[in-house]
């Protein structure tokens, strides 16, 4: 919106509503919920410009902890424990707990005790499966003892691990991690996401880093150095190259997707410049867009950052 373009009545009403809600938030949780409603969506610039200073001041007035948050992808850690021999006389739950604490020690700030939140997939339902039944359909079937041991490990973490454990209906652990990361940004609190999943790189920011047990750190700087991409390009990157049996562009792999996004910024930029591609790639890009597969892929790879996660 240009500076000389007046706000519509609807936009003025939205600014007034959010200004009122921010000013009248009495608890940190209610302020965070208001912040998510305002800032998690693509709001018009004037709303952000007006409401962000008010939000920060209200955050200061209410007061909040600046304790570092470490959010852990349970599924990543459990699979490692499940695939490894357990220590003698050990339980799967204790092994998962010990692995989490070992990784947290790697990433926590010196002489500080971070808040640890463990995020768990909802295995009963999945909105992604409802949207795209083929989602993750080619993954190998789990061994018969996988789910019982998984349940045992979750119970241990809840009752004896000393962690905050979170599962949200229909959501994956990645969605919970994304929502935690977004609320940390609103709180202006440092956050580390422990996960091997590359989807999480879309959450990287000056306050949020990803830590992979295999690949170590993924930050905005390392993401640019290793892939030449910004966090805002990750969803298009995954959508173009394909992941988790989601729709993708035929014949476009990880490296080609990177190069196209480095040159054309996003998929719509690639589509606009498709005349510069080979006939085969141009046809694949057009099919990806015209068939609606691109929009399905974006929905599948975009993590939910609006879940009500409180601490």
Tens-digit pLDDT profile for residues 234-278: 999 999 999 999 999 999 999 999 999 999 999 999 999 999 999
Q: What is the per-residue pLDDT for 214? A: 82
Quick count: other Cβ atoms within 10 Å of Cβ 91?
16
**pLDDT above 90 covers what percent of the chain?**
78
Q: Tokens 């357990």 identify what position?
A: 86
Has residue 165 got a pLDDT over 70?
yes
Mean pLDDT, residues 103-128 taken together: 92
Mean confidence (pLDDT) of the chain: 93
The Cα 217–Cα 107 span in angstroms is: 9
Has residue 81 got a pLDDT over 50?
yes
Mean pLDDT, residues 43-52 taken together: 82
Has residue 46 got a pLDDT over 90?
no
Distances (CA, A) of 131 to 139, 208, 246, 256, 301: 18, 29, 10, 27, 12
Has residue 280 got a pLDDT over 70?
yes
Q: What angle do CA 17, 20, 25 make, to 5 degrees?
A: 125
Mean pLDDT, residues 85-94 taken together: 85
**298 or 215: whose pLDDT is higher?**
298
The SS3 assignment for 170 reads coil
The Cα 88–Cα 99 span in angstroms is: 16
Q: Tokens 């707990």 identify what position?
A: 97
The Cα 247–Cα 267 span in angstroms is: 14
**18 or 297: whose pLDDT is higher?**
297
Beta pairing partners, 72: 118, 194
* Contact between residue 294 and residue 266 where contact means Cβ atoms under 8 Å apart: no
* Contact between residue 157 and residue 163 where contact means Cβ atoms under 8 Å apart: yes
Burial of 245 (0-12, 13-18, 19+ CB in 10 A): middle
Instruction: Read off the pLDDT of residues 175-231 as tens digits, 9 standing for 90 and up.
Output: 999 999 999 999 999 999 999 999 999 999 999 999 998 877 778 888 898 899 999
Q: What is the per-residue pLDDT for 3? A: 56
Q: Tokens 């000389």 identify what position?
A: 4
Has residue 77 got a pLDDT over 90?
yes
* C-alpha torsion 125→99→164→32, nearest 10: -80
Mean pLDDT, residues 38-59 taken together: 86
Q: What is the per-residue pLDDT for 14? A: 86
The Cα 251–Cα 92 span in angstroms is: 41
Instruction: Name the token pair of 188.
Output: 């202006």
Q: What is the per-residue pLDDT for 66? A: 87
pLDDT confidence tier of residue 42, bands split at 50, 70 and 90: low
Q: What angle do CA 145, 150, 154 make, to 5 degrees?
A: 155
The Cα 103–Cα 309 span in angstroms is: 22
Whole-model pTM? 0.93
């Amino acid at each position: 919106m240009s500076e000389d373009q007046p706000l519509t009545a609807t936009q003025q009403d939205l600014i007034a509503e959010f200004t009122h809600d921010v000013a009248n938030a009495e608890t940190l949780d209610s302020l965070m919920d208001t912040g998510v409603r305002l800032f998690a969506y693509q709001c018009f610039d004037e709303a952000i410009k007006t409401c962000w200073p008010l939000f920060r001041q209200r955050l200061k007035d209410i007061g909040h902890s600046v304790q570092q948050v470490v959010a852990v992808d349970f599924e990543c850690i459990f699979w490692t424990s499940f695939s490894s021999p357990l220590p003698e006389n050990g339980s799967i739950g204790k092994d998962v707990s010990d692995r989490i604490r070992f990784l947290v020690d790697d990433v926590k700030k010196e002489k500080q005790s971070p808040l640890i939140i463990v995020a768990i997939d909802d295995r009963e339902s999945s909105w992604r499966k409802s949207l795209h039944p083929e989602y993750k359909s080619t993954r190998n079937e789990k061994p018969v003892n996988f789910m019982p041991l998984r349940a045992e490990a979750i119970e241990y973490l809840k009752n004896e691990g000393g962690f905050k454990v979170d599962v949200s209906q229909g959501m994956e652990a990645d969605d919970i991690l994304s929502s935690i990361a977004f609320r940390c940004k609103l709180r202006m609190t440092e956050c580390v996401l422990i996960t091997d999943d590359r989807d999480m790189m879309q959450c990287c920011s000056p306050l949020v880093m990803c830590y992979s047990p295999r690949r170590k750190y993924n930050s905005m700087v390392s993401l640019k150095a290793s892939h030449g991409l910004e966090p805002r390009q990750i969803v298009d990157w995954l959508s173009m190259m394909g992941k988790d049996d989601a729709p993708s562009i035929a014949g476009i792999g990880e490296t080609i997707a990177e190069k196209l996004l480095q040159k054309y910024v996003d998929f719509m930029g690639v589509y606009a410049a498709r005349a510069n591609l080979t006939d085969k790639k141009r046809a694949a890009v057009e099919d990806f867009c015209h068939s609606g597969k691109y929009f399905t892929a974006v929905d599948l790879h975009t993590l939910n950052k609006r879940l009500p996660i409180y601490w």
